[in-house]
Structure 1
């Protein structure tokens, strides 16, 4: 059941979220993001619409390999890349530029970094970014503006059960929260409808990652995000705390399975929704944008 909008997650420090959004991945897109992107791309086979234009939101962290999968599926579609932070746009352009000898150059349309069409794109692809947004409703509203009428949004993000084992460990040891809270998929559906999307379809799965050592677990977790909770540790933690954390992490190995490997659960939410034709409320005076007026006129033409 959806929660009260005033009390629903996320619990995110906006300053910390902005700092994270400007940080370029050190070693390419995280493995988990690429795997989730691969699974999300596979879901496109069930959508009959064939976009003529599409845009990838923040692919540098969302998944460069996943970007290539979508580009190959829609070879004839014009592709736009949108990196919300201008400092990351150049890095994304360099990462997506295929060398002259690469087969990738012929497997899909070349990514463009100029502004998407004024009327929007037929598909907006947003992999693994929504759960790190301090104001997700504002972000969804921005996505709505980027999608063309009758186009659709395809996105993924992490859900409330993510790293539940680590959260329980922090609580048991009396430490601040291990991470900010994540939003339930039913609340995402409500936000999509509130922004103007229609027919949202949400589904969820849980993925368990395992590591042989605390060092390996912490190294991968650092690539996936940061703790953006306002009540997180207020200052840098010392070596003693770090040793205590590494000593405690092996407790997260399942007793009966997993071979003694540290295990953490990730709840992954997938969603897509269509953008219907704009409606104008009946009143003595009604104001619509030029874009909305053009869309309504085009839909009213015979054969349009």
Structure 2
């Protein structure tokens, strides 16, 4: 238990997609920004004053700027693998206090061991090709007693789109998302302490399937499976998938698109020597403990 399988993702394709999406990302990423806002609210219940923060998958820097305002004395690093996203993040904050931007892959964090007090990752870790290693690397960079807070997406995400495409062809058209329980096991296997997981379902609705798929593409979340079809989709194929999607139209005449949002947090382990033995525990930093 604990080792999530490697994900067959084309990182180059995903990076290019997010790069192209940067200019209009904030207009379409309503759900991602709402998830980030809810994650920030969860920090209200944590007694933790980080000196160094890492925002993984920062995108255009909306959450990065909110973290800078919440923790005005902290040094904030913003990491993304798409340079056009970082170009927008770099403008966040004030002239004398900007985030330090890192163009890097979340599977290979370019930070020293035990150097970060808070790792914040909103809707980013589903783009890891090696989730077990990604969490192990997060555990490595977290200081003892540091906090990881993240969100990702579970298997029911885009289930309607997956079902519609399955009626058209047998190729993968939707990301392979990881189950909440597997995330929890992976956190423990990475050596992170006291993991807490929960899930919520959020649904966006659209007037037509073509607009729905266009918006998924605008936010850079198009299909990046390595076994995807590499050619352009024919108009006939798009017409067929739009027709298949009609089975989900609700009583209000809208087409739903489901997101299974996985939330998780855990703590950097603290090593203490007791009677000559090294034992692992965690600092009690949360309210009410």
* Fold in common (TM above 0.5): yes
- Shift, 1:117, TM fit: 6.3
Q: How far apart, in 1, do the equivalents of 2:196 and 2:242 lie?
A: 40
Partner of 1:110: helix, strand, or coil? Answer: coil
Say if 1:180 and 1:81 are closer, same or farther in 2 by CA, change over 3 A.
closer
Structure 1 residue 126 and structure 2 residue 121: aligned? Answer: yes
Structure 1 residue 190 and structure 2 residue 185: aligned? Answer: yes
Say if 1:186 and 1:230 are closer, same or farther in 2 by CA, change over 3 A.
same
Structure 1 segment 89-238 matched on structure 2, within 5 A? 91-98=85-92, 104-105=93-94, 109-113=97-101, 119-222=114-217, 223-233=219-229, 235-238=231-234
Q: How far apart, in 1, do the equivalents of 2:143 and 2:2 lie?
A: 30
Contact 2:168 2:240 in 1 (8 A): no
Q: Write the deviation string for residues 197-238 of structure 1: whole angstroms up to 9, x where unpaired.
A: 111111110000001122321111112512233443354321
- Structure (1/2) with the larger strand percentage: 2
CA RMSD between the two structures: 2.9
Q: Which residue of 2 aligns with 1:277?
A: 270
Superposition TM-score, scaled by structure 2 size: 0.80
Q: How far apart, in 2, do the equivalents of 1:118 and 1:9 lie?
A: 25
Listed as ranges, the gaps of 5+ residues in structure 2 are 103-109, 279-289
Q: Which residue of 2 aligns with 1:266?
A: 259
Partner of 1:264: helix, strand, or coil? Answer: strand
Of 38-47 and 238-247, more deviation after overlay is shown by 238-247
Partner of 2:201: helix, strand, or coil? Answer: strand
Q: How many correspondences in the alignment?
A: 263
Listed as ranges, the gaps of 5+ residues in structure 1 are 99-103, 281-285, 287-304
Q: Which segments of structure 1 move beyond 6 Å, counting only runs of 4 or more?
A: none
Q: Which residue of 2 aligns with 1:71?
A: 68
Relative contact order, higher structure (CA 8 A, sep 6+)? 2
* Structure with greater Cα Rg: 1
- Shift, 1:94, TM fit: 4.1
- Shift, 1:105, TM fit: 2.3
Contact 1:9 1:181 in 2 (8 A): no
Say if 1:243 and 1:110 are closer, same or farther in 2 by CA, change over 3 A.
same
Superposition TM-score, scaled by structure 1 size: 0.76
